[in-house]
Amino acid sequence: MRFSRQLGRTLKDAPSDADCASHRFLVRAGMIQQVAAGVYSYMPMGWKALKKIENIIREEMDKAGGQELNMPSLQPIELWEKSGRLASFDKTLFSVTDRKEHKLVLGPTHEEIITDLVRRSVQSYRDLPQLPYQIQNKFRDEPRPRGGLLRVREFIMKDLYSFDADEAGLDESYRKMVQAYKNIFARCGLPAVMVEADSGAIGGKDSHEFMLVTESGEDEIIYCLHCGYAANAEKATSAKNPGPKEGLLPVEEVSTPGLQSIDEVATFLGVKHAQTLKSVFYTADGQLVFIVIRGDLEVNETKLKNLLKCIDLHMASEAETQAAGLVAGFASAINLKGYKIVADDSIKLGTNFVAGANKPDTHLKNVNYPRDFKVDTLADIAVAREGDQCPKCNGKLLSQQGIEVGHVFKLGTFLSERLGAYYLDKDGASKPITMGCYGIGLGRLLAAAVEQNHDDKGIIWPLPIAPFQVCMCPLKIEDPAIMQAAEKLYTELMSAGIEVLLDDRPESPGVKFNDADLIGIPLRIVISARTLQNSSAEVKWRREKQPIIMPLKGLVDAVRKLVKSGGSG
């Protein structure tokens, strides 16, 4: 490709709203262009990189037994009514009304369509398993599109769905997909970690995410180096410190004038945070829920939301708390009636806690569960943090930031039951098909690749997904000797199957070098009057500082070997 002919140019300045490296560099390198909030065009060079990712994904899906098909973006809303998922997608769902006043949905995902498709196509256990997939555009009306390609409203996704006769079949399909995902990220040159993920309120058994570790990532990964435990912070658990076991003492009222926070009360009474019980109020789908958790821990809202199976969950406002008749700062579950009480299982770890007395300026000492209060639900609803103890071994948990680039999910049978996807087993009995779903956002992966691979000058593409393998910079194109040598090498490299971007623009060396760094092609070849004097060229990996001087004779072979080795690029 000749740079001078390319549609789209490099820009000096990043968009003013660009707050992450991938957004800044992909726009400045002329690889993507914004059309509307969260809506982007891929320019030729960006599209080339995306196609490389797509090809790797397609090859690995096919190798794992996937069958590619294509389903429409326009989906009848009736299928969504049948699946019961309208409420959970709520405002993120784009919908349109056709000329006959019939409502359709712009697909944010395709479980509904594919389950209906399989329902019509699969009759017996002999037709299973099936692993259909597609690579296609999805639509989600994100409330705050941002970060360039990281959070958009129209995006390209690979979505595969597994249909099996039973759980054992699903486990096997899941295992195949996990392996395929590991292959994909390895082949893209993007180290990813697999973490346990939240599987949502509706459920499924197992769910894992694949994360690219990068400081700018918006997801937190909690992990243990000892045993390999790794989970998304939304899902992560920790072994809660057991607390002291003492003989149970009688409940005692203490005056705590004006002391509302756990900090103030613990300091005043000279006890550790873990020796107190904290009350937190939430509103779940309009109903107040009373939460009890040990004072040293925080509530994990994802866990709470899943436990309550609610759609809307937020901390109760002051007005909501007052309306419920609760004494903020001094509330506790003791003698409390008329509220749903949910407690973290940490309340069982420890004895003789300090808790609110449900009247102003007063706390209680020596509160013990279950002697002094009852709860409706007891479960793990606590946040796991760095420094906590690993739930699987005695190691210390660590934390790092990452970007989610893939998700695998065991759905089970709830969708096939709702949408009527049944098959006949060996004995002729009708059974719901067991499902799984497996997604990779391609644009998100492209952006995450840039987040993981850049410096202050620009992108540093991993070789397997770089738009070109070589960027050739002839300096001073008005010098016929230089251009002849460059054209000759360009043709020979292309004949050898190497992808070359030839910077044939009449620009200064400084501009060419800056753009080469910005665009981030792994290998740069410079031909100048000076290199020609020695019948050589200057070859440099984007990641390295120093170029290597190589003779023009045999250069094509040498470059082919470098590209094959992957080098340090």
Site string for Zn ion, 243-282 (x = CB under 5 A): ----------------------------------------
| Residue 313 contacts residue 282 (beta carbons within 8 Å) | yes
CB nearer to Zn ion: pick between 122 and 213 = 213
Q: Which stretch binds Zn ion (CB under 5 A): 3-11, 395-403, 412-420, 513-521?
A: 395-403
State yes or no: residue 496 binds Zn ion (CB under 5 A).
Answer: no
CA 503 to chain centre: 36
**What is the DSSP code (8-state) at residue 125?**
G
Size of the site for Zn ion (CB under 5 A): 8
Q: In DSSP terms, which residues pair with 501 in a beta bridge?
A: 471
**393, 481, 496, 548: which one contacts Zn ion (CB under 5 A)?**
393
Q: How far is the CB of 393 from Zn ion (least distance, A)?
A: 4
- The verdict on 392 binding Zn ion (CB under 5 A) reads yes
- Using CB under 5 A, pick the residue from 227, 248, 323, 549 that binds Zn ion: 227
**329-349 burial string, b = 16+ CB within 10 Å, else e?**
bbbbbbebeebebbbbebbbb
Q: DSSP code of 457?
A: T
**Is the CB of 105 or the CB of 390 nearer to Zn ion?**
390
Among 3, 80, 223, 229, binds Zn ion (CB under 5 A): 229
When asked if residue 390 is in the footprint of Zn ion (CB under 5 A), the reply is yes
What are the strands of the beta sheet with 470-474, ordered from one edge? 500-502, 470-474, 523-527, 536-541, 548-551
Query: Residue 506's CB: how many other CB atoms inside 10 A?
Result: 9
Q: How far is the CB of 394 from Zn ion (least distance, A)?
A: 7
Q: How far is the CB of 229 from Zn ion (least distance, A)?
A: 5
Task: Indicate the SS3 state at residue 255.
Answer: strand
Nearer to Zn ion, 387 or 551 (CB): 387
225 is a contact residue toward Zn ion (CB under 5 A): no
Min dist CB 228 to Zn ion, Å, is 7
Q: Print the binding letters for residues 15-44 with Zn ion: x by CB under 5 A, - otherwise.
A: ------------------------------
Q: What's the number of CA atoms in the CB half-sphere (13 Å) around residue 312?
A: 9
Q: Is 395 in the site for Zn ion (CB under 5 A)?
A: yes
Q: What is the CA radius of gyration of the chain?
A: 29
The distance of closest approach from Cβ of residue 194 to Zn ion in the complex, given in angstroms and rounded to an integer, is: 15
**Closest to Zn ion by CB, 152 or 390:** 390
What are the angstrom distances between the C-alpha of 556 and each of 488, 528, 550?
A: 11, 17, 10
Angle 189-190-191 (CA atoms, 0-180°, nearest 5)? Answer: 115
Rounded to the nearest whole angstrom, what is the least distance from the CB of residue 225 to Zn ion in the complex? 8
Q: How far is CA 193 from CA 96, 283, 465, in A?
A: 38, 35, 19
Between CA 393 and CA 396 the distance in angstroms is 9
Binding mask 406-425 for Zn ion (x = CB under 5 A): --------------------
Cβ-based nearer residue to Zn ion, 2 or 392: 392
Q: Where are the alpha helices (DSSP H) in 396-520?
A: 414-419, 442-452, 480-495, 509-519
In the list 63, 103, 226, 488, the residue contacting Zn ion (rule: CB under 5 A) is: 226
Distance CA 137, CA 271 (A): 56
Using CB under 5 A as the binding rule, whether residue 387 contacts Zn ion is answered as: no
Buried b / exposed e across 217-250, counting CB within 10 Å, b at 16+?
bebbbbbbeeeebbbbbbbbbbebeebeeeeeee
Select the span of 269-277, 328-336, 392-400, 447-455 touching Zn ion (CB under 5 A).
Answer: 392-400
Among the residue ranges 107-115, 220-228, 332-340, 342-350, the one whose residues contact Zn ion (CB under 5 A): 220-228
State the minimum distance, in angstroms, from the CB of residue 222 to Zn ion: 11
- Contacts to Zn ion by CB under 5 A: 224, 226-227, 229, 390, 392-393, 395
